[in-house]
Structure 1
Amino acid sequence: MTALPPGSTIGILGGGQLGRMLSLAAARLGLKCHIYSDVPGGACDVSAASTIGPFEDVERVRAFANGVDVVTYEFENVPLAAAHAAEAVVPVRPGPKALAVAQDRLEEKTFISGLGIPVAPFAPIHDDASLEAAVRAIGDAGILKTRHLGYDGKGQIRIRSAGELKPAFTSLQRAPSVLEGLVPFAYEVSVLVVRALQGETRVYDIPLNTHKDGILDTSTVPSPLSARDAARAREIAGAIATALGYVGVLGVEMFYVPEAAEPLVVNEIAPRVHNSGHWTMDACLVSQFENHIRAVAGWPLGSTDRHSDVVMTNLIGADADRWTALAAEPATALHLYGKPDARPGRKMGHVNRLKPRS
């Protein structure tokens, strides 16, 4: 396949901040973006075109796909029917297989463990009998997570004793779920791997991630991972991307367990550009957003090298009200997503604080 020339149009399913930053990156390369979203979002403000309609309206999705050259997506809960409808018209990158795996926590863990990659102990729950079996398999403590939907701490409940499990399952509306065993990790990291149409992979430096209330708070580069563990983390992410036949940026979240024989345990994957990669916008010559666009358009991948150390901090809710002070900080890049309402728990933007590479 030849690379899409400048002037081509990339369709993006989803209209949030990731679509916004993808659209801006595409414009830098002379490419246009057309957003398809069920609600207006910040991506619509900066894209060449936008269509608002239900993802379940497959005929409308097909019509949208007829007006673009390739389709990608900016969130992992795009209905599979919409992805397949678009794929019937133009290439969809990454393919729907990656969506199917990432949308089901049981499928995801089964797939990754099937590659010989460590994941947290897990057991499926769909009724009272499987709930009791899960306790026998995993133990009295763990995290109950719905198999479908849920992000930024949503759709999951910490379980501290067997007696808490049934009420927690009920509070999740008895939705099909997974009980995960607790992992005694020292910290969390993520790997951002970009895979080209022809199979080439490149990996960004690995950030150390911290969370507040289940939402990513900071990503710091460099991380404390040793060179050996970092190489293994890159190997794991590359193996997952290759097994999925992936095209674009894939985020692979991992726990670091220092005392374990295999210290890296995969938590989950995100088949899209990732919040923990926002630091690449200012600390790298080519950001995760541009490399995703390059990959889905069939272009050569850009460098993933960084020129600076950096701490990315999410601006959640009222954090963004300090925009004047943040804009005045030296060596700080401010990114706001154009959202009108600074609600608690809502990602309003982020800042990247840079310093010379150590």
Structure 2
Amino acid sequence: MNKKTTKIMDKWLNLLSKKLSGLKTSDRKDIIENYRDLWNEELSLNKSANEILLGLRPIDEIAKELYEEFEVIKKSKSDVTKIKIVNSKSEATSSWIKSINNGFIKIFGFTYSVMAILLSFIFFISFVAIIILIPVALVLAFINYEFLVVLPLAIGVMGIGIILAIFFYFLSSSSYLTVKTIFNKWFGKSKEFKDKKKILSRLMLIMIIIGGSMAGIGAVTSTVGNHSIYGSVLSGNYLNHSEVENFQLNETITKAFDGKESEFSAKSIVYVDFDWGLTPWTIFEAKQDKDLSNNQIAIQKHFNFKESLGNEFKITEKPEASYWEKNENSSYDTGRLYLKFHISAPWNAKFLSITPIKYEIAYNFKINDTPVENIIVRF
């Protein structure tokens, strides 16, 4: 008897034994031995394994008859099992194809495992970053803003942080388990692991509900009402404002022209440039105010920062950088006057600007006895 025949016989007997699991062990053992003897007898007559299988009834039919004979009702329904009968040529072909498929599966499994490991690492780093950065951002927010002003936003951010942290943790965990499953097919099938997974899933669901509620409450209370941190921005009624700062620019303009004021005409343009560098989120509103003195700019800051912090935003002239540039190539623009300003901000406002600071700018220019209409304010 060759190994191939022995393997087929043992497989058939094992399947029959499983089908007879409802019988007593002694009865099942006797039946299996009887069928083993039958196989050996048939093999002694030089019959092939395929011929023997063709002469036997289906295993399900044999099992049913034996259960009826022993008057046993089987409690669980087993799956129908079939033994495929092949000849030597088809078996060799099948084995060759199977080896190729296994090779592709191994390559794909290895590639996917490497990608899953990288994704797991990236998602885990994102999870850790959220856990670390959100508390830091909240601390800076409470430094820059009044406690009651930023509290609703902090609640919303913490809620969003919880959801994002769970999301990246889930992605990281899924990638990790994928790798484990590829290298160990039995990983994650123990009852203990499933129980832990159920507990963790329920805990995450509860945290997502809590995080979503916090995010919703934070979003509403941060945007509704003129006294909320973003509601005040949307309505234009900022919570704090500075005193009006006035800049008289006659001397700066005189130095910029350097005796060439006569080149300025009604078609000339004045650019008021604010170099705000690393200052935070900034918006501005500029308008002409003829109640101001000639060549005067008035600036008022509106902000939601703490009042003491907002007053640390400093605006200074840069007369050395201001200059006049004559344009001889255009009849619509005879020249341009550039007036330069610099805005500096405190360090903590640079790192966390969650609301804008608004500059309300009023100006009035008259150069070479010519009222200036073409004025452009740039940040």
Q: TM-score range by the shorter chain?
A: under 0.3
Higher share of residues assigned helix: 2
Higher share of residues assigned strand: 1
TM-score normalised to the size of structure 1? Answer: 0.19
- Of structures 1 and 2, the larger Rg is shown by 2
TM-score normalised to the size of structure 2? Answer: 0.18
